[in-house]
Every structure is written in structure tokens, then in C-alpha cells.
Amino acid sequence: MSIPVYLYTGPEFGERNDAVNLLKEDFKKKFGSVDEYLYYATDTSVATVVSMLQSESLFQDATCVVYKSCELIKKKEDIELLSSWIKSVTPDSKNKNPKQSSMLILVSDETSVDSKLSKLIPKENQKVFWVMFENRRVPWIKDLFRKNGYQIEQEAAELILELVENNTESLKAECSRFFTLFPQGTEITTGDVDKILADTREETPFTLFGAMTDSSVRPEKRLENSLSILQKIRLSKENKSPAIIAGLAFCFRKLLSYHELCSGGTPDEFTLKKSGFASSMIRQQYAKASKIWSYGQTMAILAGLSNTDMTVRNIGSAVETSCLELMLYSIIIKKGSSLASYVEAV
């Protein structure tokens, strides 16, 4: 008999969410009607989650709890609470047929969690969902368009991958715009991608990075524009700080790669394309960014992003917005210097 607790981790949100939904569907087939709950470790305690799992549902036959950001579960008392509940639903010599009408699905964007937590869960109930390898991305995009009755140019597919976060959930959402706006049989070009993603997409960490690298305006104006975009992201469904910080970290790691490519002189177009800078628009964006932030400053920014992520996760949602705004101020105005070490130039 399987144990109704699962650990799904990793940054491939699309495949991971599909797997979570499949678990929930199988659970519904088994019990008929299920109360579903979604909690985040940043906002809801382990004690609350365990209490929900132990409670009898008044109107449904079973209970399913999805508990996200579970990499934050590290306290001894929290591990013990989960261990006690898991033991109560695990068959043994004294409890051969435990009640298993409650299911817990632990989810994390990270690739691992505290070892004391992972040891509680059977290995067969754990899975890491990795992002697609570089050589799978363009074929995946082309296949998605083909299945929906469209064709797409190679460079157009590469441009989508430059503009959209590398997970299948985000890619499907962005590509669906083309299926709505163009008739079947259309071949999508780089011009179409530039126009549609620029004109119709919601604000994301990637559009935020674009505003941060707009060297045509003064740093103060870049900060103003970036804060405006941050506010829009915070009002959207993808408003969680870890996702925003992870998106910006992806961009600045890519900027680090650009600096490394340019360390021996300006690389040619073929080298840039081979290294993941496929479109001219993306190459121009990172060329501008490299003039704003040096290699050392980029390293400092990545460290600052990591510190902000830890601060938000440890303190909680009450200070998320303030931490994110200070983070943007540090990156744009101070070029990665921390508040404590910054001294205004005379």
C-alpha cells in the first residue's frame, strides 16, 4: 500500500504541476469527492497543515493538501509533526490498514529540501523536475506549434526562449497567444514574436530586467519605471517573491556569461548565438546591460538577490514589497552595493 505523501521539487513548473494534478485526479477517482487546499510555507505553519490533514472533512470523503515552498521546513518541531502524521498513515505490524483519506503533496522550486524532511518520504514518492536541456528547447517549441497547426521559424523559436522563462508552463502560456491571434497554417516569424510578446504579454521578471537595462534614461528614471513594473507583477497571479527573484537571477547569471564571452574581445554573432544569445534584440539588451554593470558588480547583484530571497523567506510576506523595492534600488542606483557599504560619490 502506498503512503499518501509526495515530494515534488525542481524549477520545471509545467511538468511538475501536471504531475501534481495527476496525483489529485487519481486521489479523486479513489475517494470520489475531495476537499483541496493550497498553502505556502511562507504564510502557513506546518502545525496548521497537519491539523488540516488530521481533521475529518464534513462534506467531502477525503482531503488533499498541496504545501509549497517546503524547502523552508527545517525546524525540529515541524519535522517531528510531519513525521508523526506520516507514521499514522503508514502501514506496519500494529496498524495494517491505516486511514489514508488525506494526502499531502510537498512542493518546492528548489531541487532539494532539508535531508531530515526528505528521509520521511519514500523514494518512489519523490521526484525532481529539471528544466529542459538546451538541445530540447527549440524542438519542444516547434512541436508545440506543429500540434496546434502552426509553423515557426528557427530564429523565432529561439527568440521565444530568450524572452520567456525556461519552463513548460510559462512557454505554453506565452505561445497560446499566437494560437489566438493567428489563423492555423501561419508560419510565425521573429517579427511576429517581437510584436506579440512586446504588445500583449504580461509584465514578468524578464520585462522588469528590460526596464532595468534601459540605458537611454537616467538611473533614477530606470528605477521609477522598474518599480512600476514590479508593482504590476505583484498584482498579477505570478506575484510571489521567490519567482520574481529567480527570474532576475536568471537574467544576471546570463549577463555574467556575456561578460565572460566578451573578456577576450567582442565575440562574433555565431559565438553569441551558440552561447544562448540567439536574437539581435537579446544581444543588444545584454550589450547595454554589460555597460551598466561590470563583471564584479554583476557578481555582487547575484549575491544581493540571494540575500533578499533568504530575507523574504525568513521574515515572511509582510515585508516582501519593501525588500523587493530596496533590492531594485541597490541594483539600479548603487550597482549592487549593499546599503551598509554604499558611500555617495562626491
**207 and 346 belong to one structural domain:** yes
User: 136 pLDDT exceeds 70?
Assistant: yes
3-state secondary structure of 176: helix
Q: What phi, psi does 292 have (nearest 5°)? A: -85, -45
Contact 151, 145 (CB under 8 A): yes
**170 and 218 belong to one structural domain:** no
- CA–CA separation, 48 and 200 (whole Å): 40
Quick one: 169 exposed, middle or buried, by C-beta within 10 A (0-12, 13-18, 19+)? Answer: middle
Q: Which three cell numbers stand for residue 143?
A: 512541436
3-state secondary structure of 17: helix
**197 and 218 belong to one structural domain:** no
Could you read off the pLDDT of 221-258 as tens digits, one per residue? 999 999 999 998 888 766 778 889 988 998 999 999 99
**19 and 99 belong to one structural domain:** yes
- CA–CA separation, 30 and 61 (whole Å): 10
List the beta bridge partners of residue 188: 152
Give me the number of domains the chain comprises: 3
Of 128, 144, 173, the domain-final residue: 128
Q: What is the pLDDT of residue 265?
A: 82
User: Cell numbers 573578456 correspond to what residue?
Assistant: 263
**40 and 23 belong to one structural domain:** yes
Q: Which three cell numbers stand for residue 136?
A: 530540447
Could you read off the pLDDT of 257-311 as tens digits, one per residue? 999 999 888 788 878 877 777 677 788 889 999 999 999 999 999 999 988 988 8
**217 and 287 belong to one structural domain:** yes
Q: What is the domain extent for residue 151?
A: 132-201
Could you read off the pLDDT of 51-109 as tens digits, one per residue? 999 886 656 788 999 999 899 899 999 999 999 999 998 887 776 777 788 999 999 98
**221 and 162 belong to one structural domain:** no
How confident is residue 198, by pLDDT bands cut at 50, 70 and 90?
low
State the average pLDDT over residues 124-144.
Answer: 89
Q: What phi, psi does 182 have (nearest 5°)? A: -120, 145
